[in-house]
């Protein structure tokens, strides 16, 4: 009897420690984000938004006050849009090929896909830059896009691959059996069913592109993306508009993420899983 | 005879593995034709070749007299009901059924008419707006059927379509399938490993084993006159005794069984003559069970009452186990396990089956190859 009680008390005690520990980890993860959001409502004294002074909606009322910041944000969004489109197309096709067929070398391709994820960004960025330099290719918008496509393709391919692992390929045979040409099979059956997975991968790719600093720094030439601007700005000024735009991006991606989750749940329910 | 599909010496190899070897038969219009065999016997591969998902490595497949061996599935007028139905999860029942006619770009008014007709034949009208995941297994099964039949195919191919259903539903669907087949009058080609299913539903059965078609015939033929030991064993229960032909008279043979017990049997078609070795096959219900007299001495091991019949387990002198069914209400000897009895049979109730070597010499050489291939390529698709 007493042994049981001690056990129960012990379990309750370890449970509490575990809760506390998990809470601390979550705090560690999210505190910086909360600080960024909170400081978007700050009214800083001077050029640097590092010390809390007073609550204000000034920055939110005028988020596009600094043209250079707006330009950097625009450039980041453009780069993200182009690189995500290309990377999603290639990555999804690679994933489809890897799931659908096994051929001599498909294992190697699977391995090569993981490589950009495990290689330090410094190595990727610097080696890409040396490639551009030796090819005498001017760095700028196109080189940022190329660099972002390079690392995004891997993420997209691996994400899509994981999502379509359980795809029932007999559905394609069924469609073909019902007189659908290969084109009709893809557009009416395969794509609609794997679209949520591809959308999730595209979102990931977009976020990675928006966020990348190291590789971009090497290959940006004279162009300034949002992360580069933020880093450079810290020496001259750090206005709360930086926090405002960052918070807006965060909110936007959370909404998109929520929508994707809803969409995926619906598709899964239809698939009867 | 009007044949819809002809398999002309069709073979399929995956690397060194022979999945189907020289399948050669016709399927008649309006027939319910089953391909029956254990898993890995090549029945599904044969079906997939007819559907167009696999191309034969040798031979030709004719559909309505046309060679379709190299024609892609979407240009063949046959439709398949898949083992796990393969319904499109993102489409309603109606859109699933309409998929085929829409692929063929039929006018939407005609599509609607045909879909309505098939939904009513398969009793699905009230579920037209539902998604497949909202249906029971049996209903999904009927959607798969409607989706295939709406195209009026030359033949409907069914790949173990009842395998995923529980026993009760399976029996109900067997009757339902037969009803639908009679109603639409379309040729059904049915793949199954369930011998009872094949016997109840089929007009003809092709029994397959290790890539070879062992026998083709009506359910009665296959059950009462199996051509080979494999067929006798695979369909129903068979008592098999090694036998040697010792005499011949008119259309009967005298064979010697163990202990030189002599019995008569009908002369089989495979050319047995005095000196030939073979296997005697007697079905349990064809055995006479007596206390003594002329026949094969056996010892009673066990007896089990099963309603209309009593199932007796017997052992011969050389240790071969036999099964006999005797009517539970008729006159019969007192059953005492351990005691000796005698079994006999009418010459017509037994079949002398050829030894394995009596098949074509080619098969003799093929078997070790098949076994080796199976050992080295266990994951081959069959």
Angle subtended by helix axes A191-211 and A67-100, to nearest 10: 140
Instruction: Give A184 to chain B, closest Cα distance, Å.
Output: 8
CB-CB under 8 Å, B132 with A272: yes
CB-CB under 8 Å, A192 with B90: yes
Q: Is the same domain home to A95 and A206?
A: yes
Indicate if ipTM > 0.85.
Answer: no
Backbone dihedral angles phi then psi of residue B269, each to the nearest 5 degrees:
-80, -5
Q: Give CA–CA dist A194/A202, Å, rounded.
A: 13
pLDDT at A238: 87
Instruction: Look at residue A86 and tell me whether its pLDDT is greater than 90.
Output: yes
CB-CB under 8 Å, B104 with A171: no
What mean pLDDT comes out for the span B222-240? 91
Mean pLDDT for chain A?
89
Q: Is the same domain home to A27 and A84?
A: no
CB-CB under 8 Å, B103 with A178: yes
Chain segment B141-166, per-residue pLDDT in tens = 999 999 999 999 999 999 998 887 88
More confident residue, B183 or A267: B183
Q: Is the same domain home to A75 and A137?
A: yes
CB-CB under 8 Å, B79 with A178: yes
Instruction: Look at residue B321 and tell me whether its pLDDT is greater than 80.
Output: yes
Chain segment B324-367, per-residue pLDDT in tens = 999 888 788 888 889 999 999 998 889 999 886 444 434 444 55
Q: Is the same domain home to A102 and A4?
A: no
pLDDT at B369: 57
Q: Give CA–CA dist A157/B23, Å, rounded.
A: 43
Residue of B nearest to A264 (CA): B90
CB atoms within 10 A of CB B340: 12
Give me the residues of A, 178-207, that contact B with CB < 8 A: 178-181, 184, 188-189, 192-193
> In chain A, what residues touch B103 (CB-CB under 8 Å)?
175, 178-181, 184
Q: Give CA–CA dist A191/A173, Å, rounded.
A: 14
* Reported pTM: 0.77
- At B5, which helix (H) or strand (E)? strand B3-14
What mean pLDDT comes out for the span A81-97? 95
More confident residue, B381 or B340: B340
Q: Is the same domain home to A206 and A264?
A: yes
Q: Taking a C-beta distance cutoff of 8 angstroms, is the pair B37, B234 a contact? A: yes
What mean pLDDT comes out for the span A22-39? 93
Q: Is the same domain home to A104 and A226?
A: yes
pLDDT at B358: 45
Domain count, chain A: 2
Measure the CA angle with vertex B84, ends B82 and B87; round to 5°: 80
Instruction: Look at residue B381 and tell me whether its pLDDT is greater than 50.
Output: no
> In chain B, what residues touch A184 (CB-CB under 8 Å)?
103
A264 falls within a domain: yes
Q: By residue range, what is the domain housing residue A25?
A: 1-32
Q: Taking a C-beta distance cutoff of 8 angstroms, is the pair B202, B190 a contact? A: yes
Q: What is the DSSP letter of B324?
A: E
Contact B89/A at CB under 8 A: yes
CB-based burial label for B240 (10 Å; 0-12, 13-18, 19+): middle
Single out the residue of A199, A167, A210, A190 nearest to residue A76, CA to CA.
Answer: A210
The fraction of chain B above a pLDDT of 90, given in percent, is 62
> In chain B, what residues touch A164 (CB-CB under 8 Å)?
none
A42 falls within a domain: no
Q: Is the same domain home to A27 and A159?
A: no
A15 falls within a domain: yes
Question: Which CATH number covers residue A85?
Answer: 1.10.3720.10
Instruction: Look at residue A4 and tell me whether its pLDDT is greater than 70.
Output: no
Backbone dihedral angles phi then psi of residue B18, each to the nearest 5 degrees:
-95, 110
Band (pLDDT 50/70/90 cuts) for residue B139 is very high
Mean pLDDT for chain B?
88
The 3-state secondary structure of A117-174, one letter per residue:
HHCCHHHHHHHHHHHHHHCCCCCCHHHHHHHHHHHHHHHHHHHHHHHCCCCCCHHHHH
A49 falls within a domain: no
Task: Report the residue of A179, A182, A268 to disrupt the B interface, i.e. the one with the largest count of B CBs within 10 Å.
Answer: A179
The fraction of chain B above a pLDDT of 70, given in percent, is 93
Instruction: Look at residue A3 and tell me whether its pLDDT is greater than 60.
Output: no
Q: Is the same domain home to A19 and A135?
A: no
Instruction: Mark out the alpha helices in chain B (DSSP H runs).
Output: 43-51, 93-103, 108-121, 137-149, 167-184, 195-201, 219-224, 229-234, 361-376
What mean pLDDT comes out for the span B257-263? 90
Q: Is the same domain home to A5 and A131?
A: no
CB-CB under 8 Å, B84 with A170: yes
A47 falls within a domain: no
Q: Can you say how many angstroms the Cα of residue A14 is from the centroid of all Cα atoms in its chain?
A: 36
Band (pLDDT 50/70/90 cuts) for residue A1 is very low
Q: Taking a C-beta distance cutoff of 8 angstroms, is the pair B289, B341 a contact? A: yes
Q: Is the same domain home to A129 and A263?
A: yes
pLDDT at A263: 81
> In chain A, what residues touch B99 (CB-CB under 8 Å)?
175, 178, 180, 188
In sequence order, the β-bridge partners of residue B280 are: B241, B352
Q: Give CA–CA dist B180/B263, Å, rounded.
A: 47
Band (pLDDT 50/70/90 cuts) for residue B373 is low
CB-CB under 8 Å, A171 with B80: no
Q: Is the same domain home to A20 and A73?
A: no
pLDDT at A269: 66
Chain segment B99-120, per-residue pLDDT in tens = 999 999 999 999 999 999 999 9
What DSSP letter does each residue of B146-203 carry, written as one string? HHHHTT--SEEEEESTTTTS-HHHHHHHHHHHHHHHHHH--EEEEEES-HHHHHHH-S
Q: Is the same domain home to A161 and A224?
A: yes
Q: Give CA–CA dist B159/B303, Å, rounded.
A: 38
A251 falls within a domain: yes
A148 falls within a domain: yes
pLDDT at B171: 86
pLDDT at B216: 95
Measure the CA angle with vertex A183, ends B101 and B75; round to 5°: 50
The fraction of chain A above a pLDDT of 70, given in percent, is 94
Instruction: Look at residue A223 and tell me whether its pLDDT is greater than 80.
Output: yes
A37 falls within a domain: no
């Amino acid at each position: 009897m007493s042994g049981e009680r001690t056990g129960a008390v012990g379990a309750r005690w370890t449970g509490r420690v575990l809760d506390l520990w998990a809470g601390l980890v979550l705090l560690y993860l999210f505190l910086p984000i909360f600080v960024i959001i909170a400081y978007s409502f700050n009214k800083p004294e001077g050029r640097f938004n590092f010390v809390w002074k007073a609550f204000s909606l000034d920055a939110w009322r005028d988020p596009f006050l600094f043209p250079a910041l707006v330009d950097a944000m625009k450039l980041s969004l453009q780069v993200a849009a182009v690189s995500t489109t290309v990377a999603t197309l290639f990555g999804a096709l690679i994933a489809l090929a890897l799931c659908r067929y096994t051929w001599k070398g498909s294992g190697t391709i699977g391995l090569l896909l993981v490589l950009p994820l495990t290689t330090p960004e410094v190595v990727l960025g610097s080696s890409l830059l040396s490639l551009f330099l030796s090819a005498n290719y001017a760095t700028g918008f196109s080189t940022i896009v190329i660099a972002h496509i390079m690392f995004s393709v891997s993420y997209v391919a691996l994400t899509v691959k994981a999502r379509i692992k359980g795809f029932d390929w007999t559905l394609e045979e069924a469609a073909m059996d019902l007189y659908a040409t290969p084109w009709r099979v893809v557009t009416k059956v395969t794509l609609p069913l794997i679209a949520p997975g591809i959308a999730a991968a595209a979102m990931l790719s977009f976020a990675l592109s928006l966020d990348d600093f190291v590789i971009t720094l090497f290959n940006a030439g004279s162009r300034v993306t949002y992360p580069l601007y933020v880093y450079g700005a810290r020496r001259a000024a750090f206005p709360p508009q930086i926090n405002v735009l960052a918070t807006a991006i965060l909110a936007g991606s959370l909404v998109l993420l929520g929508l994707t989750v809803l969409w995926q749940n619906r598709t899964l329910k239809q698939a009867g899983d | 005879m009007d044949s819809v599909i002809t398999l002309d010496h069709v073979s399929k190899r995956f690397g060194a593995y022979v999945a189907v070897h020289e399948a050669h038969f016709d399927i008649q219009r309006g027939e319910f034709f089953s391909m029956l065999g254990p898993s890995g016997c090549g029945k599904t591969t044969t079906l997939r070749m007819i559907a167009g998902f696999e191309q034969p490595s040798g031979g030709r497949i004719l559909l309505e007299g046309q060679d379709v061996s190299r024609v892609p599935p979407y240009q063949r007028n046959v439709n398949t009901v898949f083992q796990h139905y393969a319904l499109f999860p993102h489409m309603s029942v109606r859109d699933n059924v309409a998929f085929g006619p829409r692929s063929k770009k039929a006018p939407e008014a005609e599509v609607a008419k045909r879909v309505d007709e098939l939904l009513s034949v398969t009793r699905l009208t009230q579920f037209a707006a539902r998604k497949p995941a909202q249906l029971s297994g049996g209903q999904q099964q009927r959607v798969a059927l409607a989706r295939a039949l709406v195209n009026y195919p030359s033949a409907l191919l069914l790949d173990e379509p009842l395998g995923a259903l529980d026993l009760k539903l399976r029996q109900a669907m067997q009757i339902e399938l037969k009803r639908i087949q009679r109603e639409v009058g379309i040729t059904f080609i049915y793949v199954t490993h369930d011998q009872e299913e094949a016997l109840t539903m089929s007009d003809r059965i092709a029994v397959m084993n290790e890539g070879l078609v062992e026998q083709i015939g009506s359910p009665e033929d296959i059950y009462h006159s199996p051509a080979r030991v494999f067929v006798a064993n695979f369909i129903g229960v068979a008592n098999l005794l090694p036998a040697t032909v010792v005499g011949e008279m008119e259309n009967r043979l005298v064979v010697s069984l163990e202990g030189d017990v002599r019995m008569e049997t009908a002369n089989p078609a495979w050319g047995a003559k005095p000196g030939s070795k073979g296997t005697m096959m007697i079905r349990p219900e064809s055995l006479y069970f007596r206390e003594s007299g002329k026949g094969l001495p056996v010892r009673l091991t066990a007896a089990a009452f099963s309603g209309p019949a009593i199932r007796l387990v017997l052992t011969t002198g050389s240790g071969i186990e036999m099964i006999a069914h005797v009517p539970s209400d008729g006159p019969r000897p007192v059953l005492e396990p351990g005691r000796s009895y005698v079994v006999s049979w009418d010459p017509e109730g037994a079949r002398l089956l050829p030894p394995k070597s009596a098949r074509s010499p080619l098969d003799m050489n093929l078997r070790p190859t098949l076994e080796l291939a199976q050992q080295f390529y266990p994951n081959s698709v069959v």
